[in-house]
Structure formats: C-alpha cells, structure tokens
Amino acid sequence: QVQLVESGGGLVQAGGSLRLSCAASRNIFSVNAIDWFRQAPGKQREFVARITTGGSTNYADSVKGRFTISRDNAKSTVYMSMNSLKPEDTAIYYCSAYYGGRRFWGQGTQVTVSS
C-alpha cells in the first residue's frame, strides 16, 4: 500500500513560519523522490519542492531561500520548513511521489497566511 499523510498546516501571519510534515509508507519513501505541490483557490496545482532519496533538493523560484525541504529516513517522513511566509503562499499543500508508474497524492493540508 502507498500512503502519504500531510500535517502541520494552519493559519499564520505574514512573515511567520510553519513546518509541514509528510509521513510516507516505507515502500515509496525508500525508492523515490518526494515532492511538495500546492494549489491556491482558482489556480492550478504547482510544484513547490523536491527531495530525492539521496537528499538532493530543488525548489520553485517563488520559494527559494524561504522554504527548506528535508527528510528523516528513520521516520519515513519529509518535512518542509516555510519561513517569511507571504499571503500568496496561501494554498492547500500536498506531498506526492511516483510509484509503480503512477503519481500518488496525500490528502493535503491547508496553509493560510494573513496579511
């Protein structure tokens, strides 16, 4: 079974911080990169960040320098620390990964940044 479970969203003021977690089933965590996407109201889902099994990372330009993705192999969990949050970061955040030829998604966690 493939499971991706996000947590850590909430309401924060502009300039604040949050840390999101994505707990992944071990079968997917140990062999594939884990991605974070987000979807704001009325907009398409967009890529935010990725971390590979080897720990390499890449980020969307809009979050570079503010967001940091990391992984805890012992806990099969990926984290995304989000600092200097802006109202335009408001969205549902999803973690995701490919496995067995298809992309799997978590249920999402809401992040709301007030101005």
| pLDDT on residue 27 | 84
Q: Strand 10-13 to strand 34-39: parallel, antiparallel, or no bridges (unpaired)?
A: unpaired
Please report, as a single letter, which amino acid is at residue 64: K
pLDDT-based confidence at 100, cuts 50/70/90? Answer: confident
pLDDT-based confidence at 1, cuts 50/70/90? Answer: confident
pLDDT digits (tens, 9 = 90+) for 8-25: 999 999 999 999 999 999
Averaged pLDDT, 64-85? 96
